[in-house]
Amino acid sequence: MKMRLFAVVFVAMAAFQGCTYEEGPDLSFRSKVGRLEGRWNNTFLEGGAAPQAGDSVIFEFAKDNKGKATTKTKLFTGTYNIATVDLDWQWGDTKEKISLKQTWGGVDLGTKVYRIVRLTNTQMWLENPSDVTKKIEFTKLD
């Protein structure tokens, strides 16, 4: 009897971790921060295309609201340009949005706010609220 009660309470608690995101998940046993934390490979750029062959954009999010975005751009065979931007991230009021303040070498590059469309353990989709045609998709690396 105690085990059944525990299972019911556990599932009810997990339901409160559920998402309000358009594309889900409907139920998650991990917190939103737990799902966000880690390294993400940008697979679809805000401009509407996948990164070029040899290029990569990796975002890293930590629980302390810090992170970084590293862009690797292939200039020509064997030569790459690598740039790293520091991120300060914050949830919106309902955790349906995330703001990313970007700095590079101490220079403030501005803050972008995105609506979270999907946030699972392996996928994250963001949408620019001022232009919903601009979406960014990520897959989890670790």
Fold for 33-140, please state it.
Answer: Lipocalin (2.40.128)
**Overall average pLDDT of the 53-57 stretch:** 83
pLDDT tens column, 64-98? 999 999 999 988 888 999 999 999 999 998 889 99
Q: How confident is the model at residue 129 (pLDDT cuts 50, 70, 90)?
A: confident
The pLDDT of residue 130: 83
Half-sphere exposure of 39 (CA within 13 A, CB side): 7
- pLDDT per residue as tens digits for the range 12-23: 444 444 446 766
Name the residue ranges covered by the structural domains of the chain.
33-140
